[in-house]
Structure 1
C-alpha cells in the first residue's frame, strides 16, 4: 500500500474545514491533533496538526509507563496564519507498551495528540485513551463497565446548588442519581435525580469520536441539590454519581475549573465547591458563615494580620490521634497560640478551651492568622479550601501521620507532586526512606521525631506493667465490606475466618485466665456484632490506648496498630489468611516474610498456637521484639510531643528554649 503523501493530508484537512468552517476555532490552542497514522518501512509515521499560535514543537516526548522517555523531533510540513502541519516518525524501538505523548511547557508536562476527525485508520496496537481520547500504544483493554464524570459548573439557582458536567461511559446508562453524604457519617446521606442527555461535543471533540474509537457514550448531566443548607451541619460533603449499580466521583472538567469556581452564597450560608487534591474529585464545604461574614473575612485577610497561630486537627469529627495529643501538649506549654478544629457536635471529643468549630467564623478567622497546620490525614480537614480563596499564600504544613508507613503502600495521596508538606513526621530512618521513595520527598522535609500519641501510650503502659492480661483482637477492613448487608457480611470469608480465630482465642483465654477484647475498625463497626458474643468484651477504637496498655498480646491482620503495640513492647500475631488476595507482599513497603514485627498465622488454629506461645513467655526477655523496636523506631521514649513541637516552632521561626522571648515573632510567609 503506497505511503500517504503530504498533498493527500493537506487535501484531507482542507476538505474537513470546508465542511466545518468553524472547526479551527474549536481546536485547543495547546493541543495537537492526529490527522493520519501509518506503518512504513522506517517505522510509524504520523501527520499532526495544531493551531498556528502554538507553532511546531521543538520536541515531543514519548513516555512509556515505567521506562525512560524518548525525545522525538517533529518535521514541519506546512504552516500558514491558521495551522501548522508536521510529521512525526517513531522507530520500532519507540513502539512499546503504554507509550504516551507529551510536550514540556511552562515547567509542566502536558499530554497531547487527540483525533482530528473520526475517519482515522489506526494500525494494530494503537488507540485513544478513555475519557480524553489521547493517542497511545498498547493501552490495556477491558470489557468491564467503566464511567467517568467531569464537573463543569457549580452554580446557584433559587436557593439550590446546581451541578452541571459531562459523563462518559462504555455502555448505555439507564437510571442515574446523585448521592450526597456528610463526611464520615453514613447516617446523613441524600439522593437527588439526575437529568441525562446525549452530548454533541465533549472536550471539543464530536461525541461520535468516543463511540467510534472507544465504543463509549458521552452525556451531559445536570442535578439540582434541593437541600436546606441552613439546616445542615458545617462539614465536608462528598457528591457521587450513581449509574445503575455503579458509582463514580466527579473530576474537574479542565485545569481551569478550580481557578474559575468560587464559593456560593445559598440558603443564608456559604457553600464552597472544590476539587479535593487527594481524591481528585468534587466535594462541598458547608460553612457556618453568612455572605456578610464572608466579606468581613476577605477584608481582614487583605489587612495582612500576623500569622502566629497553629491549627491542629484530624478528621473533622475526631480528636484521638496524633494531632489531639500534640495540641494538648502545646496548650499546656502555652508557647504557641494553638487551636483544635473539629465539628460543632464533636467538640466534647477534645474539650477545654481553644477549640474551634469547623467552618465557623472564628475558625476561618484563625485560618487567616494561621502560620502552621499540624494534621494527621489531610490539611483541608483543618484548613479548608475556602481559606485558600481568602489568601494567596498557604500556611506551613506538618503531616503528623496516623500510622507507621510499612504495611500498606497507600501513600499516593501524600505525594509531593500534590503538595509538599514542610514537615513529614516519621518514626525511623527506614520509614524516611519509604517516604522519600514513594512520595518523592527531599530528606530535609522528613523528620524522624516519632508520633505524639506514643507519649501517653508509654505512660499508660508503664502504669500497667505486670498487669497486662488481655488478648486484643483488632481486625482491619477490606474494600467493599462497609457496603455489605449484615447477611452478606456473615457469609463472607472475612467473617468466617475471623469468627473461627475468635472462637479459638476465646477457648484459650478461658483456659489461661486472660480476657479476650475485640476492637472494631470504625469503617466496619456496624458488623462487629457478628463477633461480639464470642469475645469477653467489645471496645470502641476511641479507647485503643488504654486497651493496648493492658494487652499481653495483639492479634490483627494488616493494621498499623501493631506498631503502636510494638512501641510499648507488646507482641503481635498477624492473621493473614487472605494474604494472596490482599496482595500483602506486593503492597507492603517491608519484606513481610522477614521484617514483620511478629509471627504470621494463616489459619485460626495457627493464631491460637502463636498466642499460647506468647502467653507462655510472658515476662521473659524477647530479643526478636527488641530488634523490631530498634528497626521501626529511632526513639522509644515519651518525648515525641517535644520533638514535634520544635517542628512547629521552626515553621514559625520561634525559639522555644528556656529564657527565649515569650512573644512569638511574626511568621514569614507560608510555604509555596
Structure 2
C-alpha cells in the first residue's frame, strides 16, 4: 500500500466551489517542482477560481462528473483542506478503505474539535503551532496520535508571505467574523428561497455587526484617518450577505474572492473567533477581537487550550465602544504591534519560520 500511495493517483481539494486554500498551494508546489504528474484538483466549473487554475495548468475535475467518480475511485490518496462528505464518503463508509487521507486543514485549531475529527479516517494531519499539536496528540478526546499529526505549518502561509511582498498595504480595516452553527439553518432549503428566519435578525451576531458597520463612530474614524472598511462574511454565512446594510466607506467583499490579497492589503483586522487571525498574525499586523455576549453557545465546538486574553494577538473587546477606542489607538500608533502582544506574534511567526520546511517534510512522507 505504501508503494501504491507514492506512485498512484493523488486527488486534491479545497472547497468544491472555491480554491486558494492549502490544497491549491500544495498542488501548485508539487506541479511546479515536477514532483509528481498523476495529480488532479477538484473544482466546480462555475467557480471563480476555475479559469485561473485551468490557465495555470491544473488538471481539474468537476465534482460529480463521470470522470470525477472514476479518478476518485482509482486514486490512492486524497489531500484536502476540508473534510467534506462529497469527497470522503462518495462511495459510502468504505470510500477511504484503500486510500490515504491527508488533512491539510483550513486553519489553526484552537478549540476542541475531537467530536468532529474523530468521525473521519485521517492518515496524516498538519498543524501549525506547538500548542495546537500538543492539544491534539496529548488529548485523550482525540483518536489521532503523533503517528498521524505533524507540526509543519500550513502550505498557504508560504504563499501568503510571498504575496505580502508583492501587494502594498492600504488604509483598510478588514472585518471578518466567523460563522455561527445555530444560524446557518436560517435558509429555507426545501423551497430554495433566501428566506431569513426571525432567529437571525434577533441574534446578537446580527445586531452587533449591524451596529458596528453602521455606527457613526466607525464612520468618523474612517473620515478622520482616511480609512476604508472591508466586510467579509464567513463562507457558511454568505446567504445572509444581503441582510446587512453598509454605510459610506464600507465595502462588502465575498469570501469567494482572493482572501490573501485582502489580508495583505489591510492594516487592521477585526474578528471574533475566526482562525483567520493566525494568517493576519503571520503578517505581523494588529488584530482586535470582538466578543459580545451571546445568549447561547452558537458554535459547534467547545473551548480548547487557546485563551484569547492570554494567547490572543490583540485586545478582546466586549462592547462597541471598546472597539472604537482600540481602533483609534492602533491607528494613532501607526499600526505597530502593541508591546503586550509582540512576544505572542514573535513566537507564532518563529514557529512557522522554522516550519518553512513543511514542504520538505511532506516530500519525505510522500516520496
Q: Return the offset for 1:631.
A: 4.0
- 1:122-141 map, 5 Å: none
Asked which structure has the greater CA Rg, the reply is 1
> Is 1:595 aligned to 2:306, yes or no?
no
The structure-2 alpha-carbon separation of the partners of 1:447 and 1:629, relative to structure 1 and needing over 3 Å to count, comes to farther
Cα distance in 2, alignment partners of residues 320 and 492 from structure 1: 31
> Is 1:405 aligned to 2:109, yes or no?
yes
> Which of 525, 528, 552 is residue 241 of structure 2 equivalent to?
528
Cα distance in 2, alignment partners of residues 545 and 323 from structure 1: 14
> Is 1:378 aligned to 2:83, yes or no?
yes
Higher strand share: 1
**Contact 1:344–1:357 (CA<8 Å) still a contact in 2?**
yes
1:78 counterpart residue number: none
The structure-2 alpha-carbon separation of the partners of 1:536 and 1:546, relative to structure 1 and needing over 3 Å to count, comes to same
Cα distance in 2, alignment partners of residues 433 and 392 from structure 1: 26
Cα distance in 2, alignment partners of residues 424 and 607 from structure 1: 36
Cα distance in 2, alignment partners of residues 392 and 474 from structure 1: 34
Q: Return the offset for 1:556.
A: 1.0
Cα distance in 1, alignment partners of residues 41 and 243 from structure 2: 36
1:341 counterpart residue number: 42
For residues 271-291 of structure 1, the C-alpha deviation after alignment (integer angstroms, 9 at most, x for no partner) is: xxxxxxxxxxxxxxxxxxxxx
Q: Which ranges of 4 or more aligned residues in structure 1 deviate by more than 4 Å? A: 304-307, 583-586, 637-640
1:414 counterpart residue number: 117
The structure-2 alpha-carbon separation of the partners of 1:305 and 1:378, relative to structure 1 and needing over 3 Å to count, comes to closer
> Which of 31, 54, 58 is residue 331 of structure 1 equivalent to?
31
> Is 1:507 aligned to 2:210, yes or no?
no
**Contact 1:432–1:446 (CA<8 Å) still a contact in 2?**
yes
Cα distance in 2, alignment partners of residues 387 and 529 from structure 1: 37
> Is 1:628 aligned to 2:344, yes or no?
yes
**Contact 2:22–2:156 (CA<8 Å) still a contact in 1?**
yes
**Contact 2:11–2:39 (CA<8 Å) still a contact in 1?**
yes
For residues 548-599 of structure 1, the C-alpha deviation after alignment (integer angstroms, 9 at most, x for no partner) is: 1111111111111111111111211111012674389962431233222211
1:315 counterpart residue number: 15
The structure-2 alpha-carbon separation of the partners of 1:305 and 1:601, relative to structure 1 and needing over 3 Å to count, comes to closer
Q: Return the offset for 1:462.
A: 2.3
> Is 1:565 aligned to 2:280, yes or no?
yes
1:353 counterpart residue number: 58
| Counterpart secondary structure, 2:109 | coil
Count of residues in Structure 1 that have an aligned counterpart in Structure 2: 343
**Contact 1:450–1:633 (CA<8 Å) still a contact in 2?**
no
Unaligned runs of 5+ in 1: 1-303, 655-672
2:190 counterpart residue number: none
The TM-score, its normalising length taken from structure 1, stands at: 0.47
Give the structure, 1 or 2, with the largest relative contact order (CA under 8 Å, sep 6 or more).
2
Unaligned runs of 5+ in 2: 187-194
The TM-score, its normalising length taken from structure 2, stands at: 0.82
The structure-2 alpha-carbon separation of the partners of 1:383 and 1:580, relative to structure 1 and needing over 3 Å to count, comes to closer
**Contact 2:182–2:298 (CA<8 Å) still a contact in 1?**
no
Q: Return the offset for 1:547.
A: 1.0
The structure-2 alpha-carbon separation of the partners of 1:353 and 1:475, relative to structure 1 and needing over 3 Å to count, comes to closer
**Contact 2:5–2:100 (CA<8 Å) still a contact in 1?**
no
Q: Return the offset for 1:355.
A: 0.9
Cα distance in 2, alignment partners of residues 486 and 528 from structure 1: 11
- 1:225-374 map, 5 Å: 307-336=7-36, 337-346=38-47, 347-348=50-51, 350-351=53-54, 352-374=57-79
The structure-2 alpha-carbon separation of the partners of 1:546 and 1:511, relative to structure 1 and needing over 3 Å to count, comes to same
Cα distance in 1, alignment partners of residues 327 and 335 from structure 2: 14
2:251 counterpart residue number: 537
Q: Return the offset for 1:490.
A: 3.7
Cα distance in 1, alignment partners of residues 96 and 308 from structure 2: 45
> Is 1:430 aligned to 2:131, yes or no?
yes
2:156 counterpart residue number: 453
Higher helix share: 2
Aligned-residue RMSD, C-alpha: 3.1
For residues 575-632 of structure 1, the C-alpha deviation after alignment (integer angstroms, 9 at most, x for no partner) is: 1012674389962431233222211111111111111111112254544443223444
The structure-2 alpha-carbon separation of the partners of 1:479 and 1:444, relative to structure 1 and needing over 3 Å to count, comes to closer
Cα distance in 2, alignment partners of residues 597 and 458 from structure 1: 18
Cα distance in 2, alignment partners of residues 633 and 306 from structure 1: 32
> Is 1:474 aligned to 2:187, yes or no?
no
